């Protein structure tokens, strides 16, 4: 039984074969780091994704590197070119557009995915995204993390919820799909608060959701707070309880891109149980079966 709309089978249905993401870098920074909004970044952010290819390489070279990392799995598969690290629309259109075009040009690249912030989507960037969308499907990933103001301030997100809602609406007008990131386990949030965030994502009709477990990563300000004993981490069982509550309030057509975290293992301080991803996913699956979890079950009737 499918307990939720999982990404991998969804992509297979949509594109007719196995689809993998190739992580690329556009060499952007972030307004939360370069001094525009702040210099220390979001409190949990270590800067870049684990698998981003070398940003100094050309896009064709980065695509090849990322395929090489996938190994045999890449044979006969299709790909999503995924600009993952930092804020990938934070730059001039004249620099970014050629990079995105190069990434989506190969025949085996079926879509483009761009991770960014909702406050970094000015009109000229939106027009660029519309041009890219005319070629292949475009996904924009937005790291909302929470709808709650106090938590947003604590994590130093740097924009209000209204900016996110507005961005989702503008992107949808351009037929660009939106994937929202939510972190579960942020300090001060109850399970009900987390489910409220997920419910909101459903109500603004995001197309996909990445549910991340809060990770403490080396070198972040959150790591300092953790070392001072100010942060409680979730245990696996409690995390699955929260996942179940969140999935219950999310419409079944929203694709679940992630059910755990994706922190760089070499930098992971806590919770260490999350490093064994296979074990975590198998525990989630087992509990979903036991509890008869169905995405959107709390929205029926
Ligand atoms: S999480 Fe994203 S928005 Fe926040 S500092 Fe890191 S790159 Fe910037």
- Residue 32 CA to ligand 1 centre (angstroms): 6
The pLDDT tens digits for 104-117 are 999 999 999 999 99
C-alpha distances out from residue 46 to 2, 76, 155, 269, Å: 34, 34, 13, 12
Identify the pLDDT of residue 192: 98
Residue 56: its pLDDT value, please? 78
Residue with CA nearest ligand 1 atom 4 = 42
Whether the pLDDT of residue 261 is over 90: the answer is: no
Q: Please report which confidence band the pLDDT of residue 48 belongs to, taking 50, 70 and 90 as the band edges.
A: low
Which pLDDT belongs to residue 300? Answer: 78
Which parts of 34-108 are beta strand (E)?
78-83
- Would you say residue 278 has pLDDT above 70? yes
Tell me if the pTM is above 0.85.
yes
Q: Ligand 1 pocket by C-beta < 6 Å: which residues?
A: 30, 32-33, 41-42, 45, 86-87, 117, 143
Rounded distance from Cα 29 to ligand 1 centre (Å): 9
Distance CA 101, CA 262 (A): 27
C-beta neighbour count of 296 within 10 angstroms: 17
Distance 140 CA to ligand 1 centre (A): 15
Decide if pLDDT at 279 tops 80: yes
Please give the distance, rounded to the nearest whole angstrom, from the Cα atom of residue 31 to the centre of ligand 1. 8
Give the residue from 238, 177, 181, 233 showing the smallest Cα distance to 209: 181
Average pLDDT of 127-138?
A: 98
* Mean confidence (pLDDT) of the chain: 95
Task: Report the nearest atom of ligand 1 relative to the CA of 87.
Answer: 7
């Amino acid at each position: 039984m499918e307990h939720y709309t999982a990404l991998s089978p969804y992509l297979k249905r949509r594109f007719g074969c196995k689809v993998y993401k190739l992580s690329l870098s556009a060499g952007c920074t972030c307004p939360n780091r370069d001094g525009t909004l702040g210099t220390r970044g979001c409190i949990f952010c270590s800067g870049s994704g684990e698998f981003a290819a070398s940003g100094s390489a050309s896009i064709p070279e980065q695509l090849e590197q990322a395929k090489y990392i996938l190994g045999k799995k890449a044979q006969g598969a299709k790909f999503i070119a995924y600009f993952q690290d930092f804020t990938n629309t934070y730059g001039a259109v004249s620099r970014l557009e050629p990079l995105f075009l190069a990434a989506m040009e190969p025949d085996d690249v079926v879509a483009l995915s761009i991770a960014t912030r909702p406050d970094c989507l000015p009109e000229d960037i939106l027009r660029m995204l519309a041009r890219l969308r005319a070629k292949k499907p475009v996904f924009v990933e937005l790291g909302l993390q929470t709808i709650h103001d106090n938590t947003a301030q604590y994590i130093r997100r740097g924009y209000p919820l209204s900016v996110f809602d507005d961005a989702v609406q503008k992107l949808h007008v351009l037929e660009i799909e939106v994937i929202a990131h939510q972190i579960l386990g942020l300090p001060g949030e109850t399970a009900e608060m987390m489910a409220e965030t997920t419910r909101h994502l459903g109500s603004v009709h995001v197309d996909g959701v990445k549910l991340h477990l809060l990770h403490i990563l080396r070198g972040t300000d959150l790591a300092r707070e953790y070392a001072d004993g100010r942060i409680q981490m979730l245990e696996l069982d409690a995390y699955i309880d929260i996942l179940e509550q969140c999935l219950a309030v999310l419409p079944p057509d929203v694709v679940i891109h992630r059910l755990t975290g994706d922190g760089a293992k070499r930098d992971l301080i806590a919770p260490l149980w999350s490093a064994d991803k296979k074990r975590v996913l198998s525990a989630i699956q087992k509990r979903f079966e036991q509890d008869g979890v169905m995405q959107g079950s709390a929205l029926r009737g």
